[in-house]
């Protein structure tokens, strides 16, 4: 068989989690919480199963869940999506991203991707026959920034879509109003679509607000906004999320969705719909994760790692160049095998080899897990 994705191997997250478990390392690599979700959420889902919500739901998702999603978006970002035609429940953000790309990108179309980029983006574009056009973030004293002048220069008559991700995996950077304004200037007067990966929307720290593209009507009119309940409710294994987009884009999205997976499992949708009635869990998330970030960051100040800014997500990047000249991949393997703490090399988020001496840690962990990792890291 001739591979459709010849350059793709096993994802770095699986590779590092396997090594972490072989070496009994503290796993700060793959992004997932090591604590359980709210028991009330489990009760809501199991209640839905016991109440007979076990057959196919409507193709775009359970109406009560789509309504709850639309209400949340309107309350927080002030944009009103019609749950009937503009919100589709997906099997995690990954499927939402792939489906948005498959419905919009034609063979030969260009999609601008900002690197470092989440590892599913480029393969998804390639599966659609699209051409990823890569623009790298700059790394300076303020951490990683998007060079909008270079994005503008990368636009061509074939540009179909620009993908953005804020809060950003792996760098933990967040887009500011000036970034959104720059993006708006670039797309104004064009037919370029925006695919906005906002899975960490509820993890923005130090009082800053998440700049969802849907806050801006001009951008909302051309955007697929993707989110994930896995991140927001500490249930990464449930693989459920959603895509919000104007009716015309959602109609095309649903054409692909219905023949890709048709729909998403029923009881989890009912359970989340019920759980979402209380906004407290997502409103409290910034403070919850900021405490973890601060604990981890303060502990790392006693190590030889240099800290990069961590304004959002549950990831924190560190510069290890004062410690080692190993490549990022080799350093992550060494750290896992010899020190007992797994991390992810940031080079895994680039298509071409790039070495900055930076690895990513995930701090979505219990305090004792973070303390154990810090004790080990302090020995280097
Ligand atoms: N986008 C980004 C930036 C992510 O970090 C993740 C989760 N690792 C996803 C998408 C995928 O989310 P899900 O697990 O809901 O498919
Ligand atoms: N999003 C998670 C991360 O960045 C991993 C998801 C996965 O394992 N595919 O670590």
Q: Does one domain contain both 102 and 174?
A: yes
Q: Does one domain contain both 59 and 159?
A: yes
Residues with Cβ < 8 Å from 284, sequence gap 6 or more?
none
Which of 281, 311, 326 is a domain's end point? 281
- Least-confidence region, from 11-15, 131-135, 269-273: 11-15
1 within some domain: no
Alpha helical stretches, state H, the chain: 12-22, 39-50, 63-77, 92-104, 121-127, 148-154, 177-187, 217-220, 229-232, 247-260, 266-275, 280-283, 285-300, 328-334, 367-377
For ligand 1, say whether the CB of 169 is within 6 Å of any of its atoms: yes
What's the whole-number average pLDDT of the chain? 97
Residues with Cβ < 8 Å from 54, sequence gap 6 or more?
266, 267
Q: Which atom of ligand 2 has the smallest separation from the CA of 29? A: 10
- Residue 307's CATH number: 3.90.1150.10
Q: Does one domain contain both 153 and 164?
A: yes
Q: Is 233 left (phi over 0), alpha (psi -120 to 50) or beta?
A: alpha
Strands 241-244 and 87-90: antiparallel
* DSSP 8-class letter at 214: G
Residues with Cβ < 8 Å from 18, sequence gap 6 or more?
none
Identify the nearest ligand to the CA of 99 by its number. Answer: 1
Which amino acid residue places its CA nearest to atom 14 of ligand 1? 92
Interface confidence (ipTM) of the complex? 0.97
Q: Which atom of ligand 1 has the smallest separation from the CA of 165? A: 3
Q: What's the structural domain count of the chain?
A: 2
Is the Cβ–Cβ distance between 118 and 197 less than 8 Å? yes
Distance, in Å, from the CA atom of 247 to the CA atom of 176, rounded to the nearest integer, reads 27
Q: Does one domain contain both 295 and 256?
A: no
Q: Does one domain contain both 203 and 72?
A: yes
Is the Cβ–Cβ distance between 194 and 213 less than 8 Å? yes
6 within some domain: no
Which of 229, 261, 281 is a domain's end point? 281
271 within some domain: yes
Residue 90 DSSP SS3: strand
Range of the domain at 61: 39-281
- Residue 50's CATH number: 3.40.640.10
Q: Does one domain contain both 338 and 257?
A: no
Identify the nearest ligand to the CA of 243 by its number. Answer: 1
5 within some domain: no
Pocket test for ligand 1, best of 17, 29, 92 (most atoms within 8 A of CB): 92
Q: Separation of 198 CA from ligand 1 center, angstroms?
A: 9
Q: Separation of 199 CA from ligand 1 center, angstroms?
A: 6
pLDDT tens, 241-268? 999 999 999 999 999 999 999 999 999 9
Residue 221 DSSP SS3: coil
pLDDT tens, 367-380? 999 999 999 999 99
Q: Does one domain contain both 54 and 135?
A: yes
Q: Does one domain contain both 244 and 307?
A: no
Mean pLDDT of all residues in 324-343: 97
Which of 217, 246, 281 is a domain's end point? 281
Q: Does one domain contain both 305 and 272?
A: no
Q: Separation of 63 CA from ligand 2 center, angstroms?
A: 29
355 within some domain: yes
On whether the pTM is more than 0.95, the answer is yes
Q: Does one domain contain both 193 and 298?
A: no
Q: Does one domain contain both 232 and 117?
A: yes
Count of C-beta atoms within a 10 Å radius of residue 55: 6
Q: Return the pLDDT at 225.
A: 99
Q: Does one domain contain both 224 and 294?
A: no
Find tokens 């601008």 and name the residue. 112
3-state helix, strand, coil in the chain (%, to 5): 40, 15, 40
Per-residue confidence at 353, pLDDT binned at 50, 70, 90?
Answer: confident
């Amino acid at each position: 068989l001739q591979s459709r994705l010849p350059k793709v191997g096993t994802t770095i997250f699986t590779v590092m989690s396997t090594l972490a478990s072989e070496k009994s390392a503290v796993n700060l690599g793959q992004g997932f919480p090591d604590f359980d979700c709210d028991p009330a959420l489990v009760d809501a889902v199991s209640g839905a199963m016991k109440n007979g919500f076990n057959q196919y739901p409507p193709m775009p998702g359970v109406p009560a869940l789509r309504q709850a999603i639309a209400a949340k978006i309107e309350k927080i970002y002030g944009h009103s999506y019609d749950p009937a035609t503009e919100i589709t429940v997906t099997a995690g953000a990954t499927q939402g991203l792939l489906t948005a790309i498959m419905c919009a990108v034609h063979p030969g179309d260009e999609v601008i991707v900002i690197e470092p980029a989440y590892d599913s983006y480029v393969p998804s574009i390639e599966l659609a026959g699209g051409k990823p056009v890569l623009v790298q973030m700059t790394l300076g004293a303020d951490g990683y920034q998007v060079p909008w002048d270079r994005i503008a220069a990368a636009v061509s008559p074939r540009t179909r879509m620009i993908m953005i991700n804020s809060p950003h995996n792996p760098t933990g950077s967040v887009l500011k109003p000036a970034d959104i304004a720059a993006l708006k200037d670039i797309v104004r007067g064009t037919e370029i679509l925006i695919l906005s990966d906002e899975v960490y929307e509820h993890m923005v720290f130090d009082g800053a607000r998440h700049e969802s593209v849907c806050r801006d009507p001009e951008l909302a009119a051309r955007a697929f906004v993707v989110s994930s309940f896995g991140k927001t409710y500490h249930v990464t294994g449930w693989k459920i999320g959603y895509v919000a987009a104007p009716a015309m884009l959602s109609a095309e999205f649903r054409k692909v969705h219905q023949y890709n997976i048709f729909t998403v499992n029923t009881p989890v949708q009912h359970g989340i719909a019920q759980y979402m009635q209380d906004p407290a869990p997502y409103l409290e998330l910034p403070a919850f994760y900021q405490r973890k970030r601060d604990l981890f960051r303060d502990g790392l100040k006693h190590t030889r790692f240099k800290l990069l800014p961590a304004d959002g997500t549950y990831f924190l990047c560190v510069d290890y160049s004062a410690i080692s000249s190993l490549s990022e991949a080799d350093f992550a393997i060494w750290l896992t095998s010899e020190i007992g703490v797994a991390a992810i090399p940031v080079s895994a988020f680039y298509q071409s080899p790039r070495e900055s001496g930076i690895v990513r840690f995930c701090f979505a962990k219990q305090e004792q897990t973070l303390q154990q990792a810090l004790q080990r890291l302090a020995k280097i």
